[in-house]
């Protein structure tokens, strides 16, 4: 029997073994491969998604448990890399191999939603569950602080109707692509 | 392959959405096909590395695997510098396997040894310059002027006198029909616009959206998912198996044996299913009787016992200068020590995997591989097709660190696709990945040194006993029992010591060995740079000044050592309870010095607060990526120093996942600073060389803090009690 839930803002039905972890339902049944497999035991955070806004390890979350819930994956965080975390990640040029970064970004975005002005210690605590073998931790720490700034600026401009400090992600990507100039 | 199959394949992949992913290789364009390509809407092939489309899109073919080290960006920068194209219009594709992309250092297409920038330095710039000259010649022909009257800038050829302009896209087809010039002149470094400037990575945007295509992300129509139960012991095999129960599980398509070696032996059993999770689950229902083989008696204790016994005997000489024995006998002071390092797993974040599509007349691989050439050959052999009917499409690699130089995962995917007559993706569980790796060698070393009355070293000896990587990877390279990778980082010590003897006892053990980020220097750097610190202490000298005095003839070592000491404030007071350690090493012709600041809590947990790194990798191509790589390498070094080890019990690996073999996490990561010593030397790689100094710098700081000398990795609180 199909399980119904909301995936990246749209109604989704899934007819798979209810014990199948959400990770594999996303990757193999729905061909949404942005969410990564790392350990299968909630040890590395590569598979992190948001369930009702909470950062959740999809590798140990059976699909039966998500009926009626709202799931957001890296593909649904923004349409165009415009989420403050993605913009900050772009500015700092965080990824190396990039494999863990979907999970890092999903953990960071859930964390910043609740902790808009984090300290280094809070960042370390919140992000300790996400392993990066390339060792991008210093860049992630820096990017989370930057994302907090962008998030605050975005909230401010949304309230006051002012133009945001950074243009659309598309333009931003162009600026960054020309970063050598 | 014929151009017809090329275009059919391109359409097929476009349809399945594969080609939409940046960086996925669908690059079937090969040099020599330009007459066909020019007739279609395809980009013009100016050479093996550069294609230009009529829409002004410049495609740079990347012959190296991108595993995080930034080659997609930095190799593109080399080509773009000479091509004078618009950097914003650059796209990249991973190159197909072809001789034109071979790395001269390996004699095949592959990525490793921190070689990419070094081996790409001239060819990529030449490719850019050659393409630029062809575009200029095409413009000159159109205008009926001499090419020397034109110049190129930002993707446009300009007739300098009349300011007439033609874009690269409008010239591409004509340029593609010209013969390439053979002796283009490359820019003087003073003319560089791009090389040497901090430049954002080209692969970042896709890596923030889940759009970068890794091996595990490949999806083909009709593709099946497989997972392999491997023999738990190294060198063991399947005695018998019954797949009946597994096959009865809904979604399971078949149970297929995996054969390895010559002659082939059944070493694993695969479950093929319609999704990965079902394949994982159904493995538990396999009824397999293992023949564990002789390795079942091997344990860490027996391995190190053998190392120790072998180290009692003379080995093969790796380096001999002067008469170390005589100098030792005359020394005022003699210092001796034994050091050990454990096996290490690569533990790339993306577990091993591969997709193969074996057909009667061709085989296609989508592989996160570091070595395309052996992957292609293995695929052709298993598929039973000609070498030219085998196609490697390199995906992004979710980490490599040397692990993906092996093709075991390629072999499995090919065997399974052949058996199933369908495309098959084989995915390893984390446990498979950690327990069936090709490990960094464990090692045992006996070192001794003699000091004269003033504390100056007069003799240094070292005997290494350890597993040999090359015996596994390329046995033909072992000459007279010597594997250079087993002694690098100790045989090549740079210090001015007149009498040196380093020898090696090659131990041909049963545990599979492989290249692990920074290879021999990852353990030997810990040995040699910790021991030099012991000598400084015995000589009652400051560890930095002791090194500096012995490196007076080594300007590049000295350059990084002095810069690291200066930036770290060596000798200046530290907060109470914080201590410094220093180390300097050359690896892969890059020079790195690091200063660590750490403290210990009451339970002897080591907290590293700061690492200052100074490096000299020759001319700088992209300083941002250099900084990234140095920091990443230091995290890798911290992990092996304080966190991980692989141990063997009953012929199998004890650790299985990130709980029992846990890499450094964010909350343990210190502040890191990276400084580049300016250099005019040829560029060298930065993927690995910042790993080795971390362990000795930490151990040396612990000595400064506690007076206790650490001679074994990883460093555990109980070792400090």
Owning domain of residue A148: 84-177
pLDDT at residue B126 above 60?
A: yes
pLDDT at residue B62 above 60?
A: yes
Distance CA B713, CA B699 (A): 9
Of B191, B207, B223, the position where a domain reaches its end is B207
Distance CA B673, CA B667 (A): 17
pLDDT at B41 (0 to 100): 53
Gap from A118 CA to chain B (nearest CA, Å):
14
Q: Name the residue of chain A whose CA is nearest to B278's CA.
A: A20
Contacts of B669 in chain A (CB under 8 A): 124, 135, 137-138, 141
In a domain, B432, yes or no: no
Contacts of A177 in chain B (CB under 8 A): 87-88, 200, 202
In a domain, B433, yes or no: no
pLDDT at B25 (0 to 100): 23
pLDDT at residue B32 above 90?
A: no
Partner-chain contact A20 B198, CB within 8 Å? no
pLDDT at residue B19 above 90?
A: no
Gap from A19 CA to chain B (nearest CA, Å):
10
% of chain B with per-residue pLDDT over 90: 93
pLDDT tens per residue across span B306-323:
999 999 999 999 999 999
B604 and B703 part of one domain: yes
Partner-chain contact A93 B217, CB within 8 Å? no
pLDDT at residue B34 above 60?
A: no
% of chain A with per-residue pLDDT over 90: 84
Q: Residue B227: which pLDDT band, with cuts at 50, 70 and 90? A: very high
Q: Residue B44: which pLDDT band, with cuts at 50, 70 and 90? A: confident
pLDDT at A166 (0 to 100): 40
Distance CA B50, CA B125 (A): 11
Give the three-class secondary structure for B408: helix
A49 and A126 part of one domain: no
Partner-chain contact A180 B669, CB within 8 Å? no
A88 and A167 part of one domain: yes
Gap from A27 CA to chain B (nearest CA, Å):
8
Contacts of B440 in chain A (CB under 8 A): none
Beta-bridge mates of residue A48: A57
Average pLDDT over residues A39-67: 98
Owning domain of residue B161: 3-207
pLDDT tens per residue across span B656-665:
999 999 999 9
Gap from B427 CA to chain A (nearest CA, Å):
10
Distance CA B364, CA A180 (A): 37
Of A54, A77, A100, the position where a domain reaches its end is A77
Partner-chain contact B658 A44, CB within 8 Å? yes
Mean pLDDT (chain B) is 93
Q: Which of B208, B211, B279, B280 to mutate to test the interface with A (most CBs of A within 10 A)?
A: B208
Of A77, A104, A135, the position where a domain reaches its end is A77
Angstrom CA distances, B654 to B62, B387, B428, B432, B434, stand at 38, 39, 17, 12, 9
B535 and B666 part of one domain: yes
Tokens 């605050």, residue located = A152
A106 and A169 part of one domain: yes
Residues 49-78, chain A, touching B (beta carbon < 8 A):
73-75, 77
pLDDT at A160 (0 to 100): 64
Stronger pLDDT, B35 or B577, i.e. the higher one: B577
Let me know the angle formed at the C-alpha of B307 by B302 and B312, rounded to the nearest 5 degrees.
125
pLDDT at residue B262 above 70?
A: yes
Angstrom CA distances, B691 to B159, B347, B526, B593, B686, stand at 50, 16, 10, 10, 10
Partner-chain contact A28 B276, CB within 8 Å? yes
Q: Name the residue of chain B whose CA is nearest to A29's CA.
A: B275
pLDDT at A155 (0 to 100): 80
pLDDT tens per residue across span B452-467:
999 999 999 999 999 9
Of A77, A104, A123, the position where a domain reaches its end is A77
Partner-chain contact A43 B659, CB within 8 Å? yes
pLDDT at residue B31 above 80?
A: no
B403 and B447 part of one domain: no
In a domain, B148, yes or no: yes
A139 and A157 part of one domain: yes
B405 and B505 part of one domain: no
Gap from A154 CA to chain B (nearest CA, Å):
19
A28 and A67 part of one domain: yes
In a domain, B82, yes or no: yes
Helices (H), chain A: 22-24, 74-77, 84-92, 101-114, 120-127, 137-160, 169-177
A68 and A99 part of one domain: no
Gap from B218 CA to chain A (nearest CA, Å):
9
Does A122 touch chain B if contact means CB atoms closer than 8 Å? no
Of B155, B176, B207, the position where a domain reaches its end is B207
Q: Name the residue of chain B whose CA is nearest to A138's CA.
A: B671
DSSP B646: B
A91 and A128 part of one domain: yes
pLDDT at residue B20 above 60?
A: no
Q: Name the residue of chain A whose CA is nearest to B219's CA.
A: A31
Contacts of B209 in chain A (CB under 8 A): 34, 74-75, 77, 81, 86
Stronger pLDDT, B92 or B19, i.e. the higher one: B92
In a domain, B499, yes or no: yes
Partner-chain contact B209 A89, CB within 8 Å? no
Partner-chain contact A38 B664, CB within 8 Å? no
In a domain, B515, yes or no: yes
B124 and B44 part of one domain: yes
pLDDT tens per residue across span A84-105:
999 999 999 999 999 999 999 9
pLDDT at B112 (0 to 100): 95
pLDDT at residue B218 above 70?
A: yes
Partner-chain contact A105 B628, CB within 8 Å? no
In a domain, B626, yes or no: yes
Domain of residue A67, CATH code: 3.10.20.30
A88 and A161 part of one domain: yes
Average pLDDT over residues B591-612: 98
Does A18 touch chain B if contact means CB atoms closer than 8 Å? no
End-to-end Cα distance, chain B:
66
pLDDT at residue A40 above 80?
A: yes
pLDDT at residue B197 above 70?
A: yes
B135 and B26 part of one domain: yes
Q: Which of B210, B226, B252, B674 to mutate to test the interface with A (most CBs of A within 10 A)?
A: B210
pLDDT at A178 (0 to 100): 33
A107 and A171 part of one domain: yes
Partner-chain contact B198 A138, CB within 8 Å? no
Mean pLDDT (chain A) is 90
Q: Residue B9: which pLDDT band, with cuts at 50, 70 and 90? A: very low
Domain of residue B452, CATH code: 3.30.365.10
User: For B613, phi and psi rounded to 5 degrees?
Assistant: -120, 130
Q: Count how many domains chain A has.
A: 2
pLDDT at B43 (0 to 100): 83
Partner-chain contact B349 A99, CB within 8 Å? yes
Partner-chain contact B87 A178, CB within 8 Å? yes
Q: Count how many domains chain B has.
A: 3
Partner-chain contact A180 B198, CB within 8 Å? yes
pLDDT at residue B340 above 90?
A: yes
A64 and A123 part of one domain: no
B96 and B23 part of one domain: yes
pLDDT at residue B608 above 90?
A: yes
Partner-chain contact B350 A24, CB within 8 Å? no
Gap from B549 CA to chain A (nearest CA, Å):
34
Of B207, B234, B260, the position where a domain reaches its end is B207
Tokens 């403290």, residue located = B599
Partner-chain contact A99 B665, CB within 8 Å? no
Domain of residue A91, CATH code: 1.10.150.120
B336 and B402 part of one domain: no
Average pLDDT over residues B32-59: 72
Q: Residue A156: which pLDDT band, with cuts at 50, 70 and 90? A: confident
| Full-model pTM | 0.93
Average pLDDT over residues B103-129: 96
B269 and B334 part of one domain: no
């Amino acid at each position: 029997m199909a399980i119904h839930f909301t995936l990246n803002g749209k109604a989704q039905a899934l007819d798979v073994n209810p014990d199948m972890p959400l990770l594999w339902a996303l990757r193999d049944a729905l061909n949404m491969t942005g969410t990564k497999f790392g350990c299968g035991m909630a040890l590395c955070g590569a598979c992190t998604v948001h369930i009702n806004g909470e950062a959740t390890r999809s590798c140990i979350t059976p699909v039966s448990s998500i009926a009626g819930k709202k799931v957001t994956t890296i593909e649904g965080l923004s349409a165009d890399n415009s989420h403050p975390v993605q913009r900050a990640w772009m500015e700092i040029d965080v990824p190396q191999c990039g494999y863990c970064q979907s999970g890092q970004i999903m953990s960071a975005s859930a964390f910043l939603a609740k902790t808009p002005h984090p300290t280094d210690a809070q960042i370390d605590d919140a992000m300790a569950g996400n392993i990066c073998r390339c060792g991008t931790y210093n860049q992630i720490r820096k990017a989370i602080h930057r994302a907090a700034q962008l998030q605050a600026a975005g909230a401010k401009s949304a309230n006051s109707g002012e133009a945001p400090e950074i243009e659309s992600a598309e333009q931003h990507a162009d600026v960054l692509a020309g970063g050598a100039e | 392959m014929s151009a017809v199959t090329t275009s059919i394949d391109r359409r097929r992949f476009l349809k399945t959405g594969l080609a939409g992913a940046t960086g996925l290789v669908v690059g079937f364009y090969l040099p020599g096909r330009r007459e066909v390509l020019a007739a279609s809407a395809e980009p013009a092939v100016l050479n093996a590395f550069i294609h230009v489309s009529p829409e002004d899109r410049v495609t740079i073919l990347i012959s190296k695997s991108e595993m995080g080290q930034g080659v997609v960006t930095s190799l593109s920068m080399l080509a773009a510098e000479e091509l004078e194209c618009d950097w914003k219009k650059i796209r990249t594709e991973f190159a197909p396997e072809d001789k034109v992309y071979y790395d001269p250092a390996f004699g095949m297409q592959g990525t490793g040894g921190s070689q990419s920038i070094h081996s790409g330095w001239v060819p990529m710039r030449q490719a850019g310059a050659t393409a630029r000259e062809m575009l200029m010649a095409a413009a000159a022909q159109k205008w009926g002027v001499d090419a020397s009257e034109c110049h190129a800038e930002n993707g446009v050829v300009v007739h300098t006198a009349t300011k007439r302009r033609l874009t690269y896209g409008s010239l591409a087809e004509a340029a593609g029909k010209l013969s390439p010039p053979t002796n283009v002149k490359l820019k003087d470094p003073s003319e560089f616009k791009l090389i040497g400037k901090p430049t954002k990575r080209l692969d970042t945007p896709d890596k923030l959206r889940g759009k970068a295509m890794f091996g595990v992300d490949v999806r083909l129509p009709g593709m099946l998912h497989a997972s392999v139960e491997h023999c738990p012991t190294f060198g063991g095999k399947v005695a018998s198996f019954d797949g009946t129960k597994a096959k009865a599980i809904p979604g399971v398509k078949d149970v297929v044996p995996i054969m390895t070696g010559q002659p082939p032996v059944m070493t694993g059993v695969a479950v093929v299913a319609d999704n990965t999770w079902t394949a994982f689950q159904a493995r538990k229902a396999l009824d397999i009787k293992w023949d564990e083989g002789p390795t079942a008696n091997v344990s860490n204790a027996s391995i190190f016992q053998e190392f120790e016994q072998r180290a009692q005997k003379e080995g093969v000489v790796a380096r001999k200068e002067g008469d170390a024995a005589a100098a030792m006998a005359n020394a005022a002071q003699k210092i001796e020590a034994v050091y050990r390092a454990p096996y290490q797993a690569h533990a790339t974040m993306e577990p091993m995997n591969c997709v193969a599509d074996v057909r009667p007349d061709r085989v296609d691989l989508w592989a996160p591989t570091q070595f395309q050439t052996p992957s292609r050959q293995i695929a052709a052999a298993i598929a039973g097709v000609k070498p030219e009917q085998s196609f490697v499409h390199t995906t992004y690699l979710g980490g490599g660190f040397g692990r993906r130089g092996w093709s075991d995962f390629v072999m499995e995917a090919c065997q399974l696709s052949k058996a199933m007559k369908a495309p098959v993706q084989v995915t390893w569980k984390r446990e498979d990945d950690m327990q069936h790796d090709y490990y960094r060698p464990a090692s045992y070393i006996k070192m001794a040194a003699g000091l004269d009355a003033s504390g100056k070293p007069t003799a240094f000896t070292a005997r290494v006993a350890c597993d040999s990587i090359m015996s596994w990877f390329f046995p033909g390279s072992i000459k007279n029992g010597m594997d250079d990778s087993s002694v690098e980082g100790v045989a090549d010590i740079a210090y001015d010591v007149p009498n040196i003897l380093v020898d090696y006892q090659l131990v041909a053990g049963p545990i599979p060995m492989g290249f692990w980020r920074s290879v021999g220097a990852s353990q030997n750097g810990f040995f040699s740079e910790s021991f030099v610190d012991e000598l400084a202490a015995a000589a009652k000298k400051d560890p930095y000044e002791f090194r500096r005095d012995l490196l007076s003839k080594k300007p590049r070592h000295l350059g990084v050592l002095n810069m690291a000491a200066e930036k770290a404030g060596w000798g200046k007071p530290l907060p109470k309870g914080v201590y410094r350690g220093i180390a300097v090493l050359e690896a892969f012709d890059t020079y790195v010095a690091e200063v660590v600041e750490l403290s210990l809590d009451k339970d002897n947990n080591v907290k590293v607060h700061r690492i200052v790194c100074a490096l000299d990798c020759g001319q700088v191509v992209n300083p941002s990526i250099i900084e990234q790589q140095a920091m990443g390498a230091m995290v890798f070094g911290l992990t092996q120093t304080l966190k991980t080890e692989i141990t063997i019990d009953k012929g199998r690996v004890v650790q299985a996942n990130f709980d029992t073999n846990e890499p450094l996490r964010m909350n343990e990561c210190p502040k890191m600073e990276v400084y580049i010593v300016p250099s005019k030397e040829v560029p060298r790689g930065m993927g690995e060389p910042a790993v080795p100094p971390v362990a000795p710098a930490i151990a040396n700081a612990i000595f400064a803090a506690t007076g206790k000398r650490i001679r074994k990795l990883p460093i555990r609180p109980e070792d400090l009690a």
